[in-house]
Structure 1
Amino acid sequence: MTTSTMRAEIAEQPEALRRTLAELLPLRGEIEALGRSTRHVLFIARGSSDNAAVYGQYLLQVHGGRLAALGAPSVATSYGAKADLSGVLAVAVSQSGKTEEIVETMRWAADCGARTVGVTNGADSPLANESDVALVTRAGSEVAVPATKTYSTQLAALAVLALGLGGGSLDPGDLQRVPDALDEILAAPQDSLEEITERLTAVQGMVVTGRGIALTTALETALKLKEACYLHAMGMSYADLLHGPIAILDPRTPVLLAAASEGPVLQGTIALAERARSAGSPVFGIGGKELAAATDLSLQVPDLPEWVAPMGLILPAQLLTERLARRLGSDPDVPRGLNKVTQTTG
């Protein structure tokens, strides 16, 4: 089976993270200065960037003591609504920095009184040039349409944002451990990856779930499986899954669970794995040894503190997506109907 550009870019993530952290960690002082004039955070993003923003939303509320919310760009671009955003830090997240809807919404937020941060891999993009502080990731050129290294470096940028905005309980050294953990994942045997791939080749739909800080991984994994494998993958918090959709679980509907190896939501994830197995669903995991023991098959990752764990959890999910796409005869580099830079119309 031939390799893909997506697979090559997945392998570039440890170095991309090292470059990004070296670039962004020195900017914590600038972020802290912005934080002194703001209280709340509004994230502006779409697609994979929106999933990354979910990570930022949890980090800032759990560890930064700030109310954070995901914005709806159409409020600005379609409705032209006005809002009092004084005291708000608007964080616009876009891999290219060129998505017109995101740039326009950031401008709208600034006009409404917000201070702005741009998170982008485009150093000379409008998003970087027009924000008060630009957190420019150093992923390098990304050719494959599915975001891999640009997504993981966005997570790193948002982790640095959390450090700058008052994450006093967070250890910057935890971030420095992540690239080595990704090297370990890439070097590990892939027997479980092959077996899970094989077991997913005949399914039409599946559930991908997690909770809290790991929710970003569930949402992004489901998106990747939809766009590259054309699989009807439902990504959601397991709390939402328990409120009705869990009724779809049966032997024809696999469940993929993502969880850090520590933290307050781990035991709930394990309990959900056991419930899914009792419904007859094939149950797969991405996480540590404790989650692996509750699943049929698991893609294990090195132990990382919960707040940085999503940067490790997403890599096995990307490997699974790339392998499954090729196993199904699809080209993961160029999924049908998608472009690298998406412009929202209307």
Structure 2
Amino acid sequence: MTSLMRAELGQQPDALRRTIDALLPRTADIAKLAAETRQVLFIARGSSDNAAAYGRYLVESRAGRLGTPAAPSIATTYRRKIDLSGVLAVAISQSGKTEEIVETLDWAAGCGARTVSVTNGAGSPLAEAAEVALITQAGEEKAVPATKTYTTQLAALSVLGLGLGADVAEDDLRRLPDEVAGLIEATEASPALPRIVEELAGVTGAVVSGRGIAFGTALELALKIKEACYLHAMGLSYADLLHGPIAVVDAKTPALLVAADSGPTLPGTIALAERARSAGAPAYGVGGGDGLAAACSAALPGPGLPEWVAPLGLIVPGQILVENLARRLGIDPDVPRGLNKVTQTT
């Protein structure tokens, strides 16, 4: 029987198309707020925080603005006022109902920030709290692991980048839905998929690594492996990995490496795959083109997209891998133990 997770990840091309069509007209609203701000503060938890990592690299590398992650505890626990004049606060929550995220956005506004929300919850408290609400069009998501709500968040952040003046081509974003549709088909037909699933089923943990624009993808893939497959997975920048944690990569702890098919971080990702294999560890690639595939033990295809928008497709083979691995391990990927669709933190 098809899992809800598999059904919902298959809905991503349509969800992305709806979201892009709905949000691209909002770039003027974003630009108006951007004219009064200098830097971007991202407020999020969980998968939304991984989406925020993409947003940060996008606005810094392509829009020339400082992007920083917020510490919600400063607002909700320490209750410390900070001067946020000149800051654009961007709060991200799939449901728009996580009280901590709503409270932190209200706090940011009270500290002088202009505010944007990214949520799939039209009419939610988070949508109502922001000056500009970017409502994604994922539709209802029933499986606990986020798939289409995550990728549509990335689409909303891509639109945010355009509104902030990123030097990127809107057409790259518009061709994303068709690229994802083809990527789902190519991944499920890839002979590497059952091989990687079978080999990961025999280990207790893995290291997931990427850098720059792909860093958020590595974090999200590691989170999905932990929550849906119950494996110990570390999500790391490959720069951080080389500073010490590389020691854990061995025959029983493989490396999963994610990269766009082009860009300045690709050579380092290929070098990391080669180093892992020379140490006797399996290295599995996601994306990275022919170069990464040749350096890895096995590799899944990535999207044929420029680096700036590649993460919107790059996570999809990872989602498929996780769904297949969970079922191989006898786990229902739709309802991981101990998790709910909306998580409240204090």
Which TM-score bucket, shorter chain as reference? over 0.9
Q: Match of 2:172, as an amino acid? A: D
C-alpha separation between the residues in 1 aligned to 2:318 and 2:268? Answer: 21
CA-to-aligned-CA distance 1:140-177 (integer Å, 9 cap, x gap): 0000000000000000000000000011x200000011
> Residue in 1 aligned with 2:185?
187
CA-to-aligned-CA distance 1:199-232 (integer Å, 9 cap, x gap): 1101001100000000011000000000000000
> Residue in 2 aligned with 1:244?
244
C-alpha separation between the residues in 1 aligned to 2:311 and 2:185? Answer: 19
CA-to-aligned-CA distance 1:219-262 (integer Å, 9 cap, x gap): 00000000000000000100000001001111111100000000
| 2:175 paired with 1:177 | yes
- Contact in 1 for aligned 2:260/2:303 (Cα 8 Å): no
| 2:186 paired with 1:218 | no
CA-to-aligned-CA distance 1:276-320 (integer Å, 9 cap, x gap): 001111110001222111101000123210000001110000000
Tell me the percent identity. Answer: 66
> Residue in 1 aligned with 2:265?
265
| 2:285 paired with 1:285 | yes
Q: Match of 1:293, as an amino acid? A: A
C-alpha separation between the residues in 2 aligned to 1:46 and 1:74? Answer: 11
C-alpha separation between the residues in 2 aligned to 1:216 and 1:286? Answer: 14
Number of aligned positions between the proteins: 343
Q: Which consecutive unaligned segments of at least 5 residues does structure 2 have?
A: none
- Range that drifts further, 185-194 or 55-64: 185-194
Q: Give the match's secondary structure for 2:304.
A: coil
C-alpha separation between the residues in 1 aligned to 2:283 and 2:64? Answer: 35
TM-score (norm 2): 0.98
Q: Match of 2:128, as an amino acid? A: N
- Contact in 1 for aligned 2:95/2:124 (Cα 8 Å): yes
| 2:98 paired with 1:66 | no
Q: Match of 1:171, as an amino acid? A: A
C-alpha separation between the residues in 2 aligned to 1:175 and 1:282? Answer: 33
- Range that drifts further, 190-199 or 84-93: 190-199
> Residue in 2 aligned with 1:305?
306
Q: Match of 1:116, as an amino acid? A: T
Return the offset for 1:186. Answer: 1.7
Q: Which consecutive unaligned segments of at least 5 residues does structure 1 have?
A: none
Q: Give the match's secondary structure for 2:270.
A: helix
> Residue in 2 aligned with 1:317?
318
- Contact in 2 for aligned 1:289/1:300 (Cα 8 Å): no
Cα-Cα RMSD: 0.6
> Residue in 2 aligned with 1:158?
157
C-alpha separation between the residues in 1 aligned to 2:185 and 2:229? Answer: 24
C-alpha separation between the residues in 1 aligned to 2:216 and 2:337? Answer: 24
TM-score (norm 1): 0.98
Q: Match of 1:205, as an amino acid? A: G
Kindly report structure 1 stretches of 4+ aligned residues shifted beyond 3 Å.
none
> Residue in 2 aligned with 1:149?
148
- Contact in 1 for aligned 2:303/2:314 (Cα 8 Å): no
